[in-house]
Amino acid sequence: VTTLLILLPLGAALVVWLLPLNRVSAGSLALLAALAEVGAWIQMLVRYDFARGGLQFSDRRSWFSDLDVSYHVGVYGFSVWLVGLTVIVMAATIAYAFWAGRERTRAYMGLMLFLTGSIVGVFAAQDLLLFYAFFEAMLIPLYVLVGVWGGPGRMGATLKFVLYTMAGSLLMLAAVVVYGLSENTFDLVKIGESSSQWIFLGFVAAFAIKAPLFPLHGWLPDAYRESSPEVAAVLSGVVSKAAAYGFLRIAVAKFPEPAHDFRAPILALAAVGLIYGSLLAFRAPDLRGVIAYSSLAQMGLITMGVFAVNDLGLDGSVLQMVNHGLISATLFLLAGMVERRALTGELGRLGGMARGRPALATVLMTTGVIALAVPLSSAFAGEFLILAGVFQRGWGWAVVGAVAIVLAAMYVLRLISAVLHREIGPAVSDAALDLRPAELGVTVPLVACLLALSVWPAAITQHAFRGDHGAADVAAQFK
Amino acid sequence: MIYGAWICLLSPLAAAVLITLAGERISRRTAGYAATLSCFVAFAGALASFISLLGRDGGDRSVVSTAWTWISGGSYRSGLELIVDPLSVFMMLVVAGVGALIVGYSIGYMDGDAEERRYFAYMALFVFSMLLLVQGGNLLLLLAGWGMVGLSSYLLIGFWHERPSAIAAAKKAFVMNAIGDATMALAFFLLIQKANSLEFGILGGEYSSTVANLVALGLLGGAVAKSAQIPLHTWLPDAMEGPTPVSALIHAATMVTAGVYLIVRTHPIFEQAPHVADLAAGLGAATLLVAGVIALVQVDIKRVIAYSTMSQIGYMFLGVGLGSYANGMFHLMTHAFFKALLFMAAGIVIHALAAEQDIRKMGGLRTVMPRTYWAFLIGSLALVGIFPFAGFFSKDSILAAAMDHGTYGYILWVAGLAGTFLTGLYTFRLFFVVFWGEPSAYVREHFHALRRDVVGVSMASTVGVLAVLSVIGGWIQFAPWWHPVETWLQTVAEPVVSPESWQEWVSIALSLLLGLSGIAVAWLLYGARRFEVPRWAFAQRTFERKFYFDELYDALFYAPSVFAAALLRRGVEEPLIAESASDLGSDTRDLGGLVARAQTGLLRTYALAIASSVAVLAIVFVAVK
């Protein structure tokens, strides 16, 4: 199933690129492939044996036997959820792109499908070189998607994005090579733990850029602002989770000693990012700016959970990865829908959109209150667990997190009231419609997933790691 | 019994979801009926639970029903579970009962509003949240209900969202409450670390005094924010921007009393942290005085009642902080009756005067709306605590409890008595100004009577029922002679203080006397107008500015965070992070240009480069050798 999940979108991408399809058929084919991918994932979810845990649906073919490099894929309990997040968000974004209509549909859809395959590959790869290959393969379509279909400032945004991620990738490549050669294998399951601080820092730097963590987020505001809304949704919803996954799967699991030694500085960076992102989100002048900086804050929080390295923190961060992926994807899509109507995302020119647009108001309000982690929402469950986890590493971290909860309430409410409430803004015309059925069809399933998780967050937290005490002993998880 | 409890919890939620999903397919009136019906169903469920608990022995009256594991992290887990015990049933009855009455009243009050459906969906959501708060079977679910009532309160305060003031008030309420949520969450983290659980049972465990103090402080932070006690009280008066039934339901009868419930529910930890419990009582006493003084100068009918709510909750905090749990809960119940009555009657006044809330424009309403006049009088007498109305029975036993708490208790007792005088004064100032005298010009011009259709009937019947409850509701307990409420709650929260019977009688006599003298002074100043109302400019200004709490918080918290955000944006984000990225881009391009210049295409340059490189390398090799 794992290989199918990787190859299905890649194959579909080839088909979309090669066949001379018209706009509608290319779009429908892509959407069909994305939905089939969701179907395949559901199949995987049902068949994965959570009671047993560990690596399942694995597939291994030797690639270069002398270096012990292989095509090795498979999923753990928590990767099942991340793959699920990927396929669901990608299906929603492809559907939205199809509906909104992008220039050169075939190229666009092909790239989105290629992106889907590579992200699933990142979450499933069990070989360092393969992981690296998928990680890079994921970035290429993103460069093109931002650089060709972005807004007016897209070239600058792409340049920054390329430079930052390239720097990270080179560091990671070096780390991968040194690590693999010194252990005589590149297989992530077999490879031994290492205590090398330099290799650890190489990986951490790469993931910290991708996440991004403060202060390595220079590419973030432009990339999230200039790309089309669905690409921004993928970037902040899914691609950033690849970095968090990397922290969990490689940095923490394979480098227990350095992870322990560097815990305080990494937690500090994450905490600074959490507060910094929240404050900037509170003053950001436009819709996407608020969501982008809140995304920075959330990644800081997730990173704190991972580096707490205890049951609560890890369970919470996996849950929060899925939550935040769904939330920020929905918010970016909604931002796109608002911008489509008002032709601007400036908060000062919006307002009063709730009147006569009940569907938009309901969806945005629901997503917003989940985003600010109102208790009883799944985001609350995730944040609560993460902070309970870092509390055990020092109460100060949790106090910082609690301050951020209050700030989150401030910036989300500011966003909601600036768009929906107060007097009608100059950019909002009476002719601006409520959400169309197609737009509801894209956003409502995402919100429904969030509501379902709110009713039962334990669906993820009980089914992410093996057994009751598994998560804290991270290394044992991956035997 | 368990089914009763689940039906009680879920029926308002079902109504909220159905109204939202149905949208314009149902009429506005239907939405109102659906919400009201769901609340009555909830009340029936609560009643069923109550009856079946009655059938059990005292010690056996606590049942927990778990649906499934809600959240887990390693070996820590909390279930989605309800608790049915005397305390939660008590609250369920109050919340569902008063809630149903007020939602029914809204059918009339909100008639003709363009977005009635949204209103009733929010109201039903609020009742669900409040029931979740009181029925939640562990601390985490309690916090979930806690946050949800904050959310629905936000939605309802900002219901008229085209008014900037309403939106600002809603945000303020939510953020203030989020601060309380955060301190509660911190207390819970500590509990998880120490006990790896959030069941109510662990609160009785043995903790070091530091841990107990910190946990109790965190919980107190939440309670103070939700119940609008000093220092987190500033949101409540602003919350009056919402429709009047909302003020009655949320900001008088139910939500703001959640802090009292929380302290009673978690009393074992407060008993281990006596200083924090004293602090709670002290904050209650301070609030009841400050709010009473501010209420004297307010001119908005709803804000006067709002400050009196703060003040009455101060009494409840005083009671439960001292460990007199049953009395605090009893006052919560009677207060729900008479405060809802006052708000509902005020709502009829506002409704009849074309949405005017300024009492300076009112006057002489006694002649034009006699029934409302009587209802308001009953509510006012109950609020001041005059025999035989409801407040009389509940307030005095709190004061008596204070006498049984040493010197500190006596200080609180004096504060409470002073508060009784203030209560009489500000309540009857409002009463005389609004209802006595000649009808003012504004009243003559704008008054229109209630219609005798569903609108009028739904409003009048609610006021009638609440008036009856405000008269007889207090009789179920009279501290010197019979106390069924205390017996009922005993298995959950055994009182720590037990005042002597002479202390009860002294408190009753003095508070009755002071309440009556407050009324007498109000009569002299505002009713009969024998004396000019005294004015001291400084005091007047301080009270009107509400002791400058808003200005203080603005300067202390809001302005610095805006400043920090601006500073970070101007000082760090733009110059360092965004610029450095752009510089990086242009530098790379420049570097590329520089390197490109070496590609001259001239053979002699290349030859020179090769030769010089070889020479340098040769020198290096020789040197290294």
Nearest residue to B215 (alpha-carbon basis) of B274, B270, B284 = B270
Q: What is the SS3 assignment for chain A?
A: CHHHHHHHHHHHHHHHHHCCCCHHHHHHHHHHHHHHHHHHHHHHHHHCCCCCCCCEEEEEEEEECCCCEEEEEEECHHHHHHHHHHHHHHHHHHHHHHHHCCCCHHHHHHHHHHHHHHHHHHHHECEHHHHHHHHHHHHHHHHHHHHHHCCCCHHHHHHHHHHHHHHHHHHHHHHHHHHHHHHCCCECCCCCCCCCHHHHHHHHHHHHHHCCCCCCCCCHHHHHHHCCHHHHHHHHHHHHHHHHHHHHHHHHHHCHHHHHHCHHHHHHHHHHHHHHHHHHHHHCCEHHHHHHHHHHHHHHHHHHHHHHCCHHHHHHHHHHHHHHHHHHHHHHHHHHHHHHHHCCCEHHHCCCCCCCCHHHHHHHHHHHHHHCCCCCCHHHHHHHHHHHHHHCCCHHHHHHHHHHHHHHHHHHHHHHHHHHCCCCCCCCCCCCCCCCHHHHHHHHHHHHHHHHHHHCCHHHHCCCCCCCCCCCCHHHHCC
Residue B386 phi, psi (nearest 5): -95, 135
Look at A156 and B582 and tell me if their CB atoms are within 8 Å.
yes
Residues 6 or more apart whose Cβ sits within 8 Å of residue B622: none
The pLDDT tens digits for B19-72 are 988 878 888 888 889 999 999 999 999 999 888 888 887 777 888 888 888 888
Q: CA A4, CA B73: separation in Å to the nearest integer?
A: 32
pLDDT score of B336 more than 50: yes
Dihedral, A190, A192, A196, A199 alpha carbons, nearest 10? 0
In angstroms, how far is the first alpha carbon of chain B from the final one? 94
Nearest residue to A305 (alpha-carbon basis) of A234, A392, A408 = A392
Dihedral, A58, A64, A69, A75 alpha carbons, nearest 10? -20
Nearest residue to B78 (alpha-carbon basis) of B182, B188, B216, B207 = B188
Look at A417 and B181 and tell me if their CB atoms are within 8 Å.
no
Please, are residues A199 and A173 in contact by the beta-carbon 8 Å criterion?
no
Q: CA A242, CA A125: separation in Å to the nearest integer?
A: 12
Q: Are strands A69-75 and A56-64 parallel, antiparallel or unpaired?
A: antiparallel
- Range with the lowest mean pLDDT among A5-19, A97-111, A381-395, B234-248? B234-248
Q: CA A262, CA A198: separation in Å to the nearest integer?
A: 11
Q: Give B154's contacts in chain A (Cβ within 8 Å).
A: 413
Q: Give A406's contacts in chain B (Cβ within 8 Å).
A: 175, 178-179, 182
Q: Distance of CA B313 to CAs B105, B240, B395, B416, Å?
A: 24, 17, 11, 12
Average pLDDT in the A118-142 region? 91
Q: CA B395, CA A63: separation in Å to the nearest integer?
A: 82
Distance, in angstroms, between B25 CA and closest chain A CA? 13
**Which pLDDT score is estimated for A476?**
61
Cis? peptide before A445, omega within 30° of 0:
no
Confidence at A105, pLDDT banded by 50, 70, 90:
confident
Q: CA A182, CA A202: separation in Å to the nearest integer?
A: 15
Q: For residue A407, what is the nearest residue in chain B, using CA coordinates?
A: B175
Query: Would the CA dihedral through A309, A314, A320, A321 be positive or negative?
Result: positive
Mean of all residue pLDDT scores within chain A: 88
Residues 6 or more apart whose Cβ sits within 8 Å of residue A258: A195, A196, A197, A200, A201
**β-sheet bridge partners, residue B358:** B300
**Which pLDDT score is estimated for B530?**
72
Look at B568 and A215 and tell me if their CB atoms are within 8 Å.
no
The pLDDT tens digits for A368-427 are 999 988 888 999 999 999 999 999 888 889 999 988 888 888 899 889 988 888 888 888
Coil/strand/helix, residue B459: helix
Q: Percent of chain A at pLDDT above 90?
A: 39
Q: Where are the beta strands (DSSP E) in B111-259?
A: none
The pLDDT tens digits for B409-468 are 888 888 988 889 889 888 988 888 888 877 777 777 777 776 767 777 888 888 888 888
More confident residue, B351 or A74: A74
Q: Give B576's contacts in chain A (Cβ within 8 Å).
A: 215
Confidence at A472, pLDDT banded by 50, 70, 90:
low
Number of C-alpha atoms within 13 angstroms, CB side, residue A474?
Answer: 25
Q: CA A2, CA A48: separation in Å to the nearest integer?
A: 11
Give me the residue label for tokens 């995402």.
A446
Please, are residues A37 and A91 in contact by the beta-carbon 8 Å criterion?
yes
Distance, in angstroms, between B70 CA and closest chain A CA? 5
Q: Give B146's contacts in chain A (Cβ within 8 Å).
A: 375
Q: CA B499, CA B480: separation in Å to the nearest integer?
A: 10
Q: CA A307, CA A316: separation in Å to the nearest integer?
A: 12
Distance, in angstroms, between B123 CA and closest chain A CA? 16
Dihedral, B36, B39, B40, B45 alpha carbons, nearest 10? 160
Radius of gyration of chain B (CA): 30
Residues 6 or more apart whose Cβ sits within 8 Å of residue A329: A89, A92, A93, A233, A234, A236, A237, A238, A446
Confidence at A469, pLDDT banded by 50, 70, 90:
very low
Please, are residues B335 and B265 in contact by the beta-carbon 8 Å criterion?
no
Q: For residue A278, what is the nearest residue in chain B, using CA coordinates?
A: B565
The pLDDT tens digits for B491-505 are 777 777 777 778 888
- Kind and range of the H or E element at B367? helix B365-368
**Which pLDDT score is estimated for A474?**
62
Q: Provide the token pair at B45.
A: 């469920």
Residues in chain A: 479
Please, are residues B523 and B298 in contact by the beta-carbon 8 Å criterion?
no
Give me the residue label for tokens 């009755």.
B512
Look at B147 and A376 and tell me if their CB atoms are within 8 Å.
yes
Average pLDDT in the B529-537 region? 72
Nearest CB partner across the interface for B565, out of A282, A381, A423: A282
Mean of all residue pLDDT scores within chain B: 84
Q: Provide the token pair at B547.
A: 């002791």
Look at B190 and A395 and tell me if their CB atoms are within 8 Å.
yes
H-only helix segments in B55-138: 86-109, 116-135
Give this complex's ipTM. Answer: 0.90
Please, are residues B397 and B330 in contact by the beta-carbon 8 Å criterion?
yes
Please, are residues A426 and A434 in contact by the beta-carbon 8 Å criterion?
no
The vertex-A133 CA angle with A464 and A96, nearest 5°, equals 70
The whole-angstrom distance between residue A12's C-alpha and the CA centroid of its chain comes to 22
Helix, strand, coil content of chain B in percent (nearest 5): 80, 5, 20
Which candidate in B189, B241, B557 is best for mutational testing of the A interface (most A CBs within 10 A)?
B189
Cis? peptide before B560, omega within 30° of 0:
no
Distance, in angstroms, between B147 CA and closest chain A CA? 5
Average pLDDT in the A324-344 region? 91
Q: Distance of CA B567 to CAs A473, B504, B561, Å?
A: 42, 59, 10
Residues 6 or more apart whose Cβ sits within 8 Å of residue A428: A341, A342, A349, A350, A351, A352, A353
Residue A127 phi, psi (nearest 5): -135, 135
- Kind and range of the H or E element at B65? strand B63-73
B477 in the Ramachandran plot: left (φ > 0), alpha (ψ -120 to 50) or beta? beta
**Which pLDDT score is estimated for B561?**
76
Average pLDDT in the A61-71 region? 86
The pLDDT tens digits for B556-591 are 777 777 787 788 777 777 776 666 666 666 776 777
Look at A406 and B178 and tell me if their CB atoms are within 8 Å.
yes
Q: How many other C-beta atoms can be found within 10 angstroms of the C-beta atom of residue B437? A: 17
- DSSP letter for B136, please: B
Distance, in angstroms, between A399 CA and closest chain B CA? 7
Look at B192 and A160 and tell me if their CB atoms are within 8 Å.
no
**β-sheet bridge partners, residue A75:** A56
Q: CA B579, CA A225: separation in Å to the nearest integer?
A: 16
Average pLDDT in the A20-39 region? 90
Please, are residues A79 and A41 in contact by the beta-carbon 8 Å criterion?
no
Q: Percent of chain A at pLDDT above 70?
A: 97
Q: Percent of chain B at pLDDT above 70?
A: 96
Confidence at A270, pLDDT banded by 50, 70, 90:
very high
Coil/strand/helix, residue B504: helix
The pLDDT tens digits for A312-322 are 888 899 999 99
Q: CA A226, CA A147: separation in Å to the nearest integer?
A: 9
